[in-house]
Amino acid sequence: MTQNLHPAAVSAAARSSSTANLAPLQAVIFDWAGTLVDFGSLAPTQIFVEAFATFGITITLAQARGPMGLSKWDHIHQLLQDPSIARQWQAQFGSAPEDKDVDAIYARFMPMQIAKVGEFSAPIAGAVELLQWLRAQGLKVGSCSGYPREVLNQLLPQALAAGIAPDHVVAGDELAAGGRPGPFMALANVLALGITDVRACVKVDDTVPGIVEGRNAGMWTVGLSLSGNEVGYSLAEYAKARAAEVDARVARAEAKLKAAGAHYVVRSVADLPAVLAQIATDMRQGKTPA
CB 38 within 8 A of CB 212: no
Distance CA 124, CA 113 (A): 20
Peptide bond preceding 24: is omega within 30 degrees of 0, i.e. cis?
yes
The Cα 182–Cα 40 span in angstroms is 24
Please say if 31 is a catalytic residue.
yes
- CA-closest candidate to residue 204, choices 194, 217, 191: 217
Q: Which of 248, 244, 226, 181 is nearest to 4 (CA)?
A: 226
- Compute the residue count for the chain: 290
Rounded to whole angstroms, how far apart are CA atoms 282 and 194? 23
31, 173, 206, 271: the active-site residue: 31
Of the candidates 166, 80, 93, 105, which has an alpha carbon nearest to the alpha carbon of residue 131?
Answer: 166
Residue ranges of alpha helices (H) inside the chain are 7-16, 42-53, 61-65, 72-80, 83-93, 99-116, 127-136, 149-161, 184-193, 208-216, 235-240, 243-259, 272-284
Distance separating alpha carbons of residues 213 and 70, to the nearest angstrom = 10
Exactly one of 72, 140, 203, 206 is catalytic; which is it? 72
Which residues are annotated as catalytic? 31, 72
